Amino acid sequence: MTIKEVSEKYNITQDTLRYYERVGMIPTVTRTSGGIRDYQPKDLSWVELALCMRSAGLPVESMIEYVRLFQQGDSTFAARLQLLQDQREVLLEQRKQIDETLDRLNYKIARYQVAVETGKLTWKEE
């Protein structure tokens, strides 16, 4: 696939794809004999991983480290595992905070639904 096709497929800019490759968030993309990027399934898998991890809040530096470890080979399994486990912990904490916020919002929404139905607040506004 061309960079344009990949950009359209994942709804990201071509500049973003070039950036991911330039900084090492994805390994060097397969090229044609003329040097044009020719994304293969393995390249697309890396793009998908980078997008997934970025949407989850993984820092760019962590993704670069993950790719670097991958490129060093099988001896880095433990380090890659630790990096992913650390990120999972960060995400679990974020989810906990989001769940707490949703609980509070749901409580307030329920109270305002009663207020809309009755025309008055039955509690003091916080």
- Tokens, residue 91: 């995400």
Q: What is the pLDDT of residue 45?
A: 97
Q: What is the pLDDT of residue 118?
A: 92
Q: Which residues contact 79 (CB under 8 A, 6 or more apart)?
A: 69
Distance CA(126)–CA(123), nearest Å, equals 9
The verdict on residue 104 lying in a domain is no
CATH number at residue 7: 1.10.1660.10
Give mean pLDDT in consecutive 10-residue pieces for the chain, a chain of 126 residues: 98 98 97 97 97 90 95 97 94 96 96 92 74
The verdict on residue 62 lying in a domain is yes
Q: What is the pTM of this model?
A: 0.81
Domain coverage including residue 31? 3-72
Q: What is the pLDDT of residue 58?
A: 87
Contacts of 86-95 with CB under 8 Å at 24 or more apart are 87/53, 87/56, 87/58, 87/62, 90/57, 91/56, 91/57, 94/57
Q: Domain tally for the chain?
A: 1
The verdict on residue 103 lying in a domain is no
The verdict on residue 30 lying in a domain is yes
